Chains A and B, each alone.
Chain A
Amino acid sequence: MGYPYSHEKEVPIISKYFGDPEARTLEGWKVRGGYKALKKALDMSPEDVVEIVKASGLRGRGGAGFPTGLKWSFMPKGKDKPHYLLCNADESEPGTFKDRELMRWVPHQLIEGCLIGAYAMGAEHVYIYCRGEFFEATQVLAKAVEDAYEAGILGDDVLDSGQKIDVTVFAGAGAYICGEETGLMNSLEGRRGEPRVKPPFPAAVGAFGMPTTINNVETLAAIPHIVENGAEWYRQWGSEKSPGTKLFCVSGHVKRPGNYELPLGFPLKDLIYDVCGGMIGDRALKAVIPGGSSVPFLSAEEAEDCALCYEGVIEAGSMLGCASVIVMDENTDIVHQVMRMASFYAHESCGQCTPCREGTAWVTTILKRILDGRGTEDDLDTLIEVTEQMTGTTICVLSDSVAAPVQSSIQKFRDEYLALIRRGERVGAA
């Protein structure tokens, strides 16, 4: 069930109880079938749990789409060192608002997923790193953790299995870069939120220098359902390479924006015109950003046949990312939108790597100048070259994320830039 709107084409699995306040409570969650999957998992061997997740083909929902089961299998066996599972709840990608809803409506679903993951990887401690601005979601989650401890679901003896698993809810201080997995680890450890050089990878040297796996909220929320119903059940939706369902966060110029849980591979066109009720004022579509602000724009034409699965969006010329669909109508000032995104990245760059620290700010400055009517055509070449210099030259991919909207917008909407530069014409009301 989507929230705030729902649609009959949805397949509500993880979002089934969105909008249902009773699902937040431990009792309410148990009545709705909660913690059964955990019990089932605890009766299995950890290796079998990993195998089910592998077989389900579940891919990381945080944006990179890395196969979750494979990631879990990288964790070293044995108990000579503490293992950690980190849940990445630092949801900060512009256009994304799915993890927040998962935490505030069904916190126990996430806790259950965390417990199963921790059991599968031999982690005795789970940290849920919440975005600093998520006050309500953090409080709801913290209450749920407290209740779970009282009920013996968390702690030294999880559901009388003898398994010890602790969960700590940790509130970040509000930085986009702490959503990058190694930046998150630094922040969790009390250091500056700066991504680390890889290798070593987190499965070898992660949080507090120990083997660590980090999973997105939505990924972990899907785990109980996969364990309970099996890999084949999960694979009934989606495609071979992108199995299952996914929450789509739709924002922008559509009549019914919000979260919708749909099978992967769902047509983008249907999402906009059917599920979301079409464009506001029935205006024409100009562009779609299908996966959050870090992925390239799709023009209306490219959006036409785009299937919303990992491989489908790549085929259309962009990336699924975390499936944050930002829809823009014909009145959208693309240059202004790109400038807004660039200034976001300039603000959020941690400042370690020179190309990112200087480049994000420079790109923003040039875009602002163009918007002020003081741009030149050379600036477009400079923007392309500068963003090329920012791609693949840094520790993390924040700086690559600026390149995507800037380069794709100049490629696909060059006319708009030129109209601004040559004639000072801006599109619509920004």
Chain B
Amino acid sequence: MAKKTSKGGDAQIEGVTLTIDGQEVTVPQGTTLLQAAQGVGTEVPHYCYHPGLSSPAMCRLCLVEVEGAPKLLASCTTTVAEGQVVLTQSEEATRMRRGVLEFYLLNHPLDCPICDQSGECDLQDYVFAEGREHGRGRDAKRVLGRDDFGGDVLFYGDRCVMCTRCVRFMDEIEENPLLTVVERGNRSVIDTFFEEGLDQAAWGGNVVDICPVGALVSKDFLHKARAWDLEHTPSICPNCSQGCNIELHTRDNLVHRMKPRANLEVNGHWICDYGRGRYEWLNRGDWLEAPVMFTESGNRAMGWKAALKALKARIDDVAEHSVKAIVSPFWSNEDLGAVARLVESLGGGVVFRSPQADEEIPLSGYEGLARRKGLAPNERGAELLGCVRVGDKAGQGGVDDFADHEGVVLVLGDSLDDQLERFAPNAALVVYLGAYTSSALASADFQFPVTTFAEQEGTFTNHVGRVQRFWPALKGPGAARPAWLVLGALLAALQDEEGPSRAEQAFSLVVDSVESYEGLSYESIGAGGGPTGEPVPLAGD
């Protein structure tokens, strides 16, 4: 995928050698001093610079000394030169940066105890690292108060450092300049055009992420958790097939928010408001917690070993082995692959239903990034595993033929909420593996609690066939296990062999069955997803 952010891809890149704080380093021509310093592990403080935006060099915090230059230079816009000697920690540079930090605190309310940014705030970090011990401001601070910017965004004017990242994001990346700076001098303040503000934006939530301080905060997250109490787990956004890289921020086994995780090949630094706002389903309470078998006296909870043994016995018993399976594209490749293998061994077919939006919502300033029409994260993965799409745009219907099926019915993840009657009443055996209780499947022969993507390790395949990993952020409820483990154990019992016990093994089984995944492993994919080279040929392309 071609990206707007990658500059001069065709130009011949020459190396430039310079010295940063005594360390010699060679970087490509055009690299800024700030980036070069990051390369040797030195973080020069900065606010207005953001890797995904233009650099106005106005925060004046990234000043460094360059030997031979008459004054300090802004490292975010000064590019490297051969033989340059850069001192990021010289007395002059640190003195001036300390001075700039003092200016930032002049009118800052220091309301860290009630500020959501506290603990992940660049102002806190930089002042701790380089600031003065005591402020010299004796005079009354400017008070601006709070403003609703629309969308999910609240503005605390007093905390703002006027870096204009938010203004530039709306202008350059969403290309919908709803934010601006009004007034000038120290009366300058960020404001919206018209009352609706970010209500008219589809990607406005990103301004909260890029705000280096607590000036722009999320209404949804407001006062919900302290930053230092949150666990960060790398994951993939489950709300469309773009596969944006995210972090799940959790506390007390609940997801509190979703944040973008930088991946220039997929989503840059951004995620959409649609995706960001839809994590509550991961915190639902109506979980399946233990394997359940339907008996004449009602549903009976049991342990996994007994349950799997009983299921194997039933499969052996039924006359018609052919399986009709329906899976949810919100489940991982490993899970779907296990269903596909079971169906292959018993004979039958797999379908899936996936909700579709009418329109894509592109991020105009970042090529290749959009909220896709396909609203499930693993549609492509399901297709590549041979699952057949059925149903309508709402992800409903299309399952009428299950009513007459007399063999085995297997359901993974899809809780069939649109089915008002008992599902597959004529089937010899109905097995439901899911996270939530389902009324249509309340009398299934077996109900097995399986973990969602947030509770297990695994992969999704995005709309262009890129396989990306996620890690467990939550602990599954009760006895819930990954579906690949459960089905793998079942298949192993049926075939009298050993099933996978680690996600990595389950993934290698998937790789074996999908041509375009050839050569992939968890190690080769890494945290950024893969394949990272040529685009994967898509099934049917």
Measuring CB to CB, which residues of chain A are less than 8 angstroms from any residue of chain B? 175, 177, 192-193, 197, 346-355, 357-362, 365-366, 369, 382, 385-386, 388-389, 392-395
Contact = CB atoms under 8 A, between A and B. Distances in A.
B473 interface: no
Contacts, number: 89
B161 A354 contact: yes
Interface of A is mostly: helix
Contacts of B58: 352-354, 395
5 contacts: A354-B60, A354-B162, A357-B188, A369-B138, A385-B99
A197 B59 CA distance: 12
B103 A351 contact: no
B255 interface: no
B184 A393 contact: no
Contacts of A352: 56, 58
Given A346-B186, A366-B139, A358 B104 contact: yes
A395 B96 CA distance: 14
Contact of B185 (A197, A351, A385, A386): A351
Contacts of A365: 139
Interface residues of B, number: 32
A353 B187 CA distance: 13
A393 B162 contact: no
Given A358-B106, A393-B99, A175 B60 contact: no
Contacts of A366: 139
Interface in B162-191: 162, 181, 183-188
A197 B60 contact: no
Nearest to A350: B184
Interface string B45-58: 00000000000111
B411 interface: no
A358 B137 CA distance: 11
Contacts of B56: 197, 352
A376 to B, nearest CB: 9
A393 B70 CA distance: 11
A74 to B, nearest CB: 19
Interface of B: 56-61, 63, 71-72, 74, 77, 96, 99-100, 102-104, 106-107, 136-139, 161-162, 181, 183-188
Contacts of A355: 60, 99-100, 103
A361 B77 contact: no
B63 A393 contact: yes
B486 to A, nearest CB: 58
Contacts of B71: 392-393
A17 B162 CA distance: 49
B184 A359 contact: no
A351 B184 CA distance: 5
A382 B107 CA distance: 17
B137 A362 contact: yes
A360 B186 contact: yes
A39 B74 CA distance: 47
A354 B103 CA distance: 7
A417 B107 CA distance: 26
A359 B102 CA distance: 10
Given A351-B187, A358-B107, A394-B60, A389 B99 contact: yes
Given A197-B74, A349-B184, A362 B106 contact: yes
Contact of A361 (B59, B60, B61, B186): B186
Given A192-B181, A362-B137, A393 B188 contact: no
Contacts of A392: 71-72
Contacts of B96: 389, 393
B59 A357 contact: no
A359 B103 contact: yes
Nearest to B103: A358
A362 B138 CA distance: 10
Given A351-B162, A392-B72, 20 more contacts: A177-B184, A346-B185, A347-B185, A349-B184, A350-B185, A351-B184, A351-B186, A351-B188, A352-B56, A353-B59, A354-B60, A355-B103, A358-B104, A361-B185, A362-B106, A369-B138, A385-B99, A386-B99, A389-B96, A389-B100
Contacts of B161: 354
Contacts of B99: 355, 385-386, 388-389, 393
A346 B74 CA distance: 23
Contacts of B186: 346, 349, 351, 357-358, 360-361
B100 A360 contact: no
B57 A395 contact: yes
B59 A354 contact: yes
| Interchain residue pairs A-B with the least CB separation, the first 6 | A389-B99, A351-B188, A358-B103, A349-B185, A392-B71, A361-B186
Given A346-B185, A348-B185, A360-B185, A354 B136 contact: no
B49 to A, nearest CB: 12
A359 B107 CA distance: 11
Contacts of B187: 351
A354 B61 contact: yes
Nearest to B97: A393
Nearest to A351: B188
B139 A354 contact: no
B171 to A, nearest CB: 11
B226 to A, nearest CB: 28
A352 B77 CA distance: 15
B425 to A, nearest CB: 69
B104 A197 contact: no
A52 B209 CA distance: 58
Nearest to A379: B138
A170 B30 CA distance: 37
B100 A357 contact: no
B183 A393 contact: no
B500 to A, nearest CB: 56
A361 B185 CA distance: 8
- Most chain A CB inside 10 Å of its own CB: which residue of B56, B100, B103: B103
By CB atoms of chain B within 10 A, which of A197, A348, A350, A366 has the most? A197
B162 A369 contact: no
Contact of B103 (A348, A389, A395): A389
Nearest to A357: B186
A362 B186 CA distance: 9
Contacts of A388: 99
A359 B58 CA distance: 14
A351 B60 contact: no
A186 to B, nearest CB: 12
B106 A393 contact: no
A392 B70 CA distance: 9
Contact of A393 (B60, B138, B181): B60
Contacts of B138: 369
A394 B104 CA distance: 14
B181 A357 contact: no
A95 B88 CA distance: 40
Contacts of B181: 192, 351
A379 to B, nearest CB: 8
B106 A353 contact: no
Contacts of A385: 99
Contacts of B61: 354
Contacts of A177: 184
B132 to A, nearest CB: 11
Contacts of A354: 58-61, 100, 103-104, 161-162
A192 B162 CA distance: 15
A235 B104 CA distance: 50
B89 to A, nearest CB: 17
Contacts of B139: 362, 365-366, 369
A62 to B, nearest CB: 21
Contacts of B102: 389
A353 B60 contact: yes
Nearest to A196: B56
A358 B104 CA distance: 8
Contacts of B103: 354-355, 357-359, 362, 389
